[in-house]
């Protein structure tokens, strides 16, 4: 039975208004450094970033009595609020009919390999608490009439662990968490971006704060708007490196802080692992085209410069049924995966789209037309779909004549979302391409979210908690779980007597390092660095790679960073200085990613996760209706690689890589209340486990 959702409800779930920010607190002291007079703010914990993970960390810290401050490049301007995710993936102990337990969910989270088993279990166990607390704060999580959370199947998930508040799920999360942060009077320094980590150089070697830039706070004796934050703990929650790729679905100016952390000597992990998939271009409204956008089975076609249409998928799939069914499967097999190019699977569609765009044609989906037939085959018919596809549409009440009807029945919010950005998909075809969407790797952390630098934590996409693959929506859950975990750890450590002793020589050194990069008369410009880095990453480190190109790309990345070290980066004013520093750090990150990728390739790594490693002697060849695609022959994944992670560290001016076996979880461990409760009461559970 079809149910019409009133427009008022659709509007409320699509137009998610954000609250006014809390008032910043004024500085109580200043420090002189390299001719600048810098305001100093002291706190017990500093959170960089104001997305769903950063806000959660700040809220949980404040609830534990920790004096916490948030510094953010742009409140409500990051991935969570602007692009983000439409789902959370969590433990499903309800009436789904398929059962679940935390161990099964942990196994699913780490099924792609290269993920620490204890981390996966932490995320599984913490998922119930993460969701229920968001519900308590007002997140409108959908329920059935008996109170069970409604769930569905998503990427790399066979159980059906995902739930959704609609396309704006992550923005709604930011909204409720921001309201809570404001209620708790947490100071939020907007338009304030961390540019250097302050690190003690003594034997303890820990983080004691950060140097930031806030262009709006520039003064005559501080023309760059530099700010010092001294804190006992630093939480990096700045999201992923959205500017790393030219072909990207991230909102503009999402840089993340991986380059910042690498400069501080913090270990990164799994930088070879990303996600790519179909989405609308950045110069329009960037959004992933997963879920019902493809489950409604629109007509997908390409158009050349003369306006000629091409039913290009008919060159790849053997039957109209196979073509339409694999369009549908992109809904819950959204990320590109090398093995799904085989056996006429759903990632053959990604390869086809990639080839069309490489040939200079634009690709569209039309919700007013059904898929066209494969030559010599019957026309599209709802009666001629694979059994799993027809069953899903039947349960959804979406066995309707046209894609638009099916989309409106399954997810009317998906139509409303594009309307808010002046694009009517009920009338016009939607252009899309293969874009970078998520960094599965990031900073290496332990089970409390602490990095290799004492006192520095990473949560959200900045943390490398995922393996080669992850269920769709697991990233939102991971951010919420580890934001809570790190806040507990920081609060206990603070209670045990940890405090910051200001060493203003560190501030002077940090300002000096910043000035080493900023050179007004440099021939290296931000625009040139951006074009260089993004083209190299998209052209040589996307879904298709080969050993020669990756090695050449690394050589070029190293040459660029050498030039930056020698010549600095040109800038104009405080805002220009910030962009120069962000692109310097992005160029550094690019070298780190390519270093890890070369290491992976040269140590026998094959095709896994987001990338196919193409090679003339590869053992797997995708097939199309027209024959084998020999140009895309690729090497299989090395099975033993699933038990390893690649760690990357900056030593001086050179990145080094090393493999480390994933942390195993003691599957024989059985908690016992009377035995284990004292360890919780005295805080022993927060001690490192070796």
For 503-521, the DSSP string reads -HHHHHHHHHHHHHHB-TT
Same domain, 302 and 393: yes
Give 471-490 pLDDT, tens digit per residue: 877 889 999 999 999 999 99
pLDDT of residue 94: 47
In a 10 Å sphere around its CB, with 0-12 CB exposed, 13-18 middle and 19+ buried, how is residue 430 labelled? Answer: buried
| Same domain, residue pair 529 and 427 | no
Predicted local distance difference test score (pLDDT) of residue 97: 52
SS3 668: coil
Is residue 301's pLDDT more than 50?
A: yes
- Please answer whether residues 297 and 324 qualify as being in contact, where contact means their C-beta atoms are separated by less than 8 angstroms: yes
The DSSP H or E segment spanning 196 is strand 193-199
Q: Which candidate, 522, 646, 539, places its Cα nearest to that of 584?
A: 522
User: Are 283 and 426 in the same domain?
Assistant: yes
Taking each helix axis as running N to C, give the angle between helix 573-602 and helix 504-517, from 0 to 180 degrees, rounded to the nearest 10. Answer: 90
Please answer whether residues 526 and 580 qualify as being in contact, where contact means their C-beta atoms are separated by less than 8 angstroms: yes
Distance of CA 62 to the CA centre of its chain: 26
Q: Is the pLDDT of residue 84 over 80?
A: no
Q: Which of 457, 429, 433, 431 is nearest to 443 (CA)?
A: 457
Confidence of residue 154 (pLDDT cuts 50, 70, 90): confident
400 and 542 both lie in a single domain: no
Number of domains in the chain: 2
39-67 confidence digits (pLDDT tens): 999 999 999 999 999 999 999 999 999 99
Mean pLDDT (the chain) is 92
Is 179 inside a domain boundary? no
- Given a cut of 70, is residue 676 above it in pLDDT? yes
- Express as a percent the part of the chain with pLDDT over 70: 95
* Cβ atoms of 507 and 38 closer than 8 Å: yes
Residues 433 and 524 occupy one common structural domain: no
Task: State yes or no: pLDDT of 690 exceeds 50.
Answer: no
**In this structure, is residue 284 part of a structural domain?**
yes
671 band by pLDDT with thresholds 50, 70 and 90: confident
Any domain includes 689? no
Please name the helix (run of DSSP H) or strand (run of DSSP E) that holds residue 577, with its range, or none: helix 573-602
Please indicate, yes or no, if residue 26 is contained in any of the structural domains. Answer: no
CATH, residue 619: 1.20.58.100
- What are 26's two structure tokens? 């004024």
Structure tokens at 525: 């410009």
Residue pair 52/478 in contact by the 8 Å Cβ criterion = no
Boundary (domain end) residue, out of 437, 465, 480: 437
541 and 645, same domain (yes or no):
yes
Burial per residue of 409-425, b for 16 or more beta-carbon CB atoms within 10 angstroms, e otherwise:
bbbbbbbbbbeeeebeb
Q: Tell me, what DSSP letter sits at residue 640?
A: G
- The boundaries of the domain holding residue 284 are 277-437
Q: What is the DSSP letter of 684?
A: G
Distance CA 399, CA 391 (A): 9
Q: Is 648 helix (H, G, I), strand (E, B) or coil?
A: strand
Q: What is the DSSP letter of 534?
A: H
Angle between helix axes 474-495 and 117-137 (nearest 10 degrees) is 90
565 part of a folded domain: yes
Give dist(CA 540, CA 533) in Å, integer: 11
Q: What is the structure's pLDDT at 95?
A: 44
Within 13 Å of residue 207, how many CA atoms lie on the same side as its CB? 32
Residues 294 and 433 in one domain: yes
Domain boundary, last residue among 377, 408, 437 = 437
CA dihedral of 594, 597, 601, 603, whole degrees rounded to 10: 110
**Structure confidence by residue, pLDDT tens digits, 339-349:** 999 999 999 99
Compute the average pLDDT of residues 446-464: 97
* Domain boundary residue, one of 383, 413, 437: 437
- Is residue 428 domain-shared with residue 550, that is, in the same domain? no
In a domain, 129, yes or no: no
Same domain, 431 and 528: no
Residue where the block lists tokens 């193409």: 614
pLDDT at 120 over 50: yes
Q: How far apart are the first and last CA of the chain?
A: 56
- Does residue 167 lie in a domain region? no
Q: Where are the beta strands (DSSP E) in 367-471?
A: 430-439, 442-443, 456-458
In the prediction, which pLDDT does 169 show?
Answer: 87
Q: Given a cut of 80, is residue 3 above it in pLDDT?
A: no
| Full-model pTM | 0.94
Is residue 549 domain-shared with residue 421, that is, in the same domain? no
Q: Which pair of tokens denotes residue 200?
A: 């003690």
Instruction: Tell me: do 428 and 281 sit in the same domain.
Output: yes
* pLDDT tens figures, 611-661: 999 999 999 999 999 999 999 999 999 999 999 999 999 999 999 999 999
Question: Is residue 460 a part of any domain in this protein?
Answer: no
């Amino acid at each position: 039975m079809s149910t019409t959702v009133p427009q008022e409800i659709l509007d409320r779930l699509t137009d998610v208004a954000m609250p006014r920010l809390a008032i910043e607190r004024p500085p109580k002291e200043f420090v002189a450094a390299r001719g600048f007079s810098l305001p100093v703010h002291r706190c017990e914990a500093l959170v960089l970033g104001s997305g769903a993970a950063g806000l959660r960390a700040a809220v949980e810290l404040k609830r534990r009595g920790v004096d916490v401050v948030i510094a953010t490049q742009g409140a409500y301007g990051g991935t969570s609020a602007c692009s983000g995710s439409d789902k959370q993936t969590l433990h499903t102990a309800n009436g789904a009919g398929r059962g679940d337990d935390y161990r099964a969910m942990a196994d699913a989270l780490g099924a792609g390999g290269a993920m620490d088993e204890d981390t996966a279990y932490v995320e599984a166990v913490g998922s119930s608490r993460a969701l229920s607390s968001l519900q308590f704060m007002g997140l409108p999580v959908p329920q059935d009439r008996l109170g069970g959370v409604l769930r569905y199947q998503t990427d790399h998930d066979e159980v059906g662990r995902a739930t959704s508040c609609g396309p704006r799920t992550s923005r709604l999360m930011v909204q409720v968490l921001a309201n809570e942060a404001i209620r708790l009077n947490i100071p939020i320094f907007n338009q304030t971006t961390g540019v250097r980590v302050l690190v003690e150089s003594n034997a303890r070697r820990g983080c004691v704060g950060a140097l930031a830039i806030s262009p709006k706070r520039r003064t005559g004796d501080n023309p760059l708007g530099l700010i010092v934050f001294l804190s006992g703990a630093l939480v990096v929650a700045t999201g992923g490196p959205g500017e790393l790729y030219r072909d990207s679905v991230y909102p503009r100016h999402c840089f993340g802080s991986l380059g910042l952390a690498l400069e501080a000597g913090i270990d990164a992990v799994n930088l070879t692992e990303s996600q790519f998939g179909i989405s609308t271009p950045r110069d329009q409204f960037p959004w992933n085209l997963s879920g019902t956008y493809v489950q409604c089975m629109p007509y997908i076609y390409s158009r050349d410069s003369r306006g000629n249409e091409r039913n290009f998928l008919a060159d790849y799939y053997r039957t109209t049924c196979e073509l339409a069914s694999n369009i549908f499967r992109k809904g819950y097999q959204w990320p590109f995966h090398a093995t799904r190019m085989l056996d006429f699977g759903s990632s053959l569609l990604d390869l086809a789209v990639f080839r069309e765009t490489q040939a200079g044609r634009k690709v569209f989906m039309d919700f007013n037309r059904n898929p066209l037939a494969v030559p010599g085959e019957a026309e599209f018919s709802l009666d001629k779909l694979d059994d799993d596809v027809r069953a899903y549409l039947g349960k959804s009440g979406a066995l309707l004549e046209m894609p638009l009807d099916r989309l409106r029945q399954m997810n009317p919010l998906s139509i409303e979302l594009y309307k808010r950005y002046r694009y009517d998909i009920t009338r016009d075809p939607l252009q899309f391409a293969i874009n970078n969407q998520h960094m599965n790797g990031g900073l290496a952390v332990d089970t409390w979210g602490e990095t290799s630098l004492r006192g520095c934590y990473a949560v959200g996409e900045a943390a490398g908690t995922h393996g080669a693959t992850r269920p769709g929506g697991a990233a939102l859950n991971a951010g919420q779980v580890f934001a809570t975990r790190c806040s507990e750890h920081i609060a206990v450590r603070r209670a045990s007597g940890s405090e910051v002793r200001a060493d203003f020589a560190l501030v002077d050194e940090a300002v000096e390092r910043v000035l080493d990069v900023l050179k007004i008369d440099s021939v290296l410009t931000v625009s040139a660095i951006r074009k260089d880095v993004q083209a190299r990453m998209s052209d040589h480190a996307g879904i298709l790679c080969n050993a020669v190109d990756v090695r050449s790309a690394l050589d070029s990345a190293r040459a660029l960073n050498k030039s930056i070290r020698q010549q600095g980066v040109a800038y104009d004013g405080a805002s220009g200085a910030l962009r120069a520093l962000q692109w310097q750090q992005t160029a550094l990150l690019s070298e780190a990613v390519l270093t890890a990728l070369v290491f992976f390739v040269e140590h026998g790594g094959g095709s896994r996760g987001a990338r196919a490693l193409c090679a003339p002697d590869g053992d797997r060849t995708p097939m199309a209706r027209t024959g084998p695609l020999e140009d895309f022959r690729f090497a299989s994944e090395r099975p033993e690689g699933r038990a390893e992670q690649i760690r990357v560290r900056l030593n001086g001016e050179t990145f080094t890589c090393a493999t480390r076996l994933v942390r195993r979880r003691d599957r024989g461990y059985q908690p016992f209340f009377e035995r284990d409760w004292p360890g919780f009461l005295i805080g022993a559970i927060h001690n490192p486990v070796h």
